[in-house]
Amino acid sequence: MRNSTETLIVAMRILSQDIQSEDGVVSAATAEAAQRLAEQQERIKRLEDIINRASLAFFSDSSHRKVSIAMHKILEEFTREAKP
Protein backbone atom coordinates (compact mmCIF):
# COMPACT_ATOMS: atom_id res chain seq x y z
CA MET A 1 0.00 0.00 0.00
CA ARG A 2 1.28 3.43 -0.93
CA ASN A 3 0.39 6.36 1.34
CA SER A 4 -0.33 9.85 0.07
CA THR A 5 2.34 12.52 0.42
CA GLU A 6 0.10 14.40 2.85
CA THR A 7 -0.12 11.29 5.06
CA LEU A 8 3.66 10.93 5.04
CA ILE A 9 4.12 14.57 6.00
CA VAL A 10 1.74 14.23 8.95
CA ALA A 11 3.38 10.98 10.06
CA MET A 12 6.87 12.50 9.90
CA ARG A 13 5.73 15.53 11.91
CA ILE A 14 4.25 13.26 14.57
CA LEU A 15 7.42 11.16 14.63
CA SER A 16 9.58 14.27 14.98
CA GLN A 17 7.65 15.16 18.13
CA ASP A 18 7.61 11.63 19.57
CA ILE A 19 11.20 10.52 18.89
CA GLN A 20 13.42 10.78 21.93
CA SER A 21 17.18 11.11 21.58
CA GLU A 22 19.83 12.72 23.74
CA ASP A 23 20.92 15.32 21.20
CA GLY A 24 17.61 15.80 19.35
CA VAL A 25 19.25 15.32 15.97
CA VAL A 26 16.86 12.59 14.79
CA SER A 27 13.83 14.63 15.79
CA ALA A 28 15.16 17.76 14.08
CA ALA A 29 16.08 15.86 10.92
CA THR A 30 12.64 14.25 10.75
CA ALA A 31 10.93 17.61 11.24
CA GLU A 32 13.08 19.18 8.52
CA ALA A 33 12.37 16.29 6.14
CA ALA A 34 8.63 16.74 6.74
CA GLN A 35 8.93 20.47 6.06
CA ARG A 36 10.91 19.97 2.86
CA LEU A 37 8.46 17.34 1.65
CA ALA A 38 5.57 19.74 2.32
CA GLU A 39 7.38 22.52 0.43
CA GLN A 40 8.04 20.23 -2.53
CA GLN A 41 4.44 19.06 -2.57
CA GLU A 42 3.25 22.68 -2.67
CA ARG A 43 5.69 23.48 -5.48
CA ILE A 44 4.47 20.47 -7.47
CA LYS A 45 0.87 21.65 -7.08
CA ARG A 46 1.79 25.16 -8.27
CA LEU A 47 3.68 23.77 -11.28
CA GLU A 48 0.77 21.51 -12.19
CA ASP A 49 -1.50 24.55 -12.09
CA ILE A 50 0.87 26.53 -14.32
CA ILE A 51 1.07 23.66 -16.81
CA ASN A 52 -2.70 23.31 -16.83
CA ARG A 53 -3.28 27.03 -17.38
CA ALA A 54 -0.66 27.15 -20.15
CA SER A 55 -2.23 24.18 -21.85
CA LEU A 56 -5.69 25.74 -21.68
CA ALA A 57 -4.36 29.04 -23.01
CA PHE A 58 -2.78 27.32 -26.00
CA PHE A 59 -5.82 25.15 -26.51
CA SER A 60 -8.10 28.19 -26.76
CA ASP A 61 -5.96 29.66 -29.57
CA SER A 62 -6.77 27.72 -32.73
CA SER A 63 -3.60 28.94 -34.48
CA HIS A 64 -1.58 26.84 -32.04
CA ARG A 65 -3.89 23.83 -32.13
CA LYS A 66 -1.17 21.20 -32.75
CA VAL A 67 0.96 22.57 -29.94
CA SER A 68 -1.99 22.81 -27.58
CA ILE A 69 -3.09 19.25 -28.30
CA ALA A 70 0.44 18.01 -27.62
CA MET A 71 0.62 20.01 -24.39
CA HIS A 72 -2.76 18.68 -23.32
CA LYS A 73 -1.61 15.09 -23.89
CA ILE A 74 1.53 15.75 -21.85
CA LEU A 75 -0.57 17.20 -19.04
CA GLU A 76 -2.86 14.18 -19.07
CA GLU A 77 0.12 11.80 -18.92
CA PHE A 78 1.71 13.83 -16.12
CA THR A 79 -1.53 13.87 -14.14
CA ARG A 80 -1.97 10.10 -14.48
CA GLU A 81 1.64 9.44 -13.38
CA ALA A 82 1.38 11.81 -10.42
CA LYS A 83 -1.58 10.00 -8.84
CA PRO A 84 -0.65 7.48 -6.12
* Domain edges within the chain: 5-82
User: What pLDDT sits at residue 29?
Assistant: 95
Query: What local confidence, expressed as pLDDT, does residue 62 receive?
Result: 61
Residue-by-residue pLDDT tens, the chain, 84 positions? 888 999 999 999 999 999 988 899 999 999 999 999 999 999 999 888 887 787 777 667 666 677 767 777 877 787 777 665
Instruction: Name the residue type at position 29.
Output: A
Residues 6+ apart with CB under 8 A from 21: 27
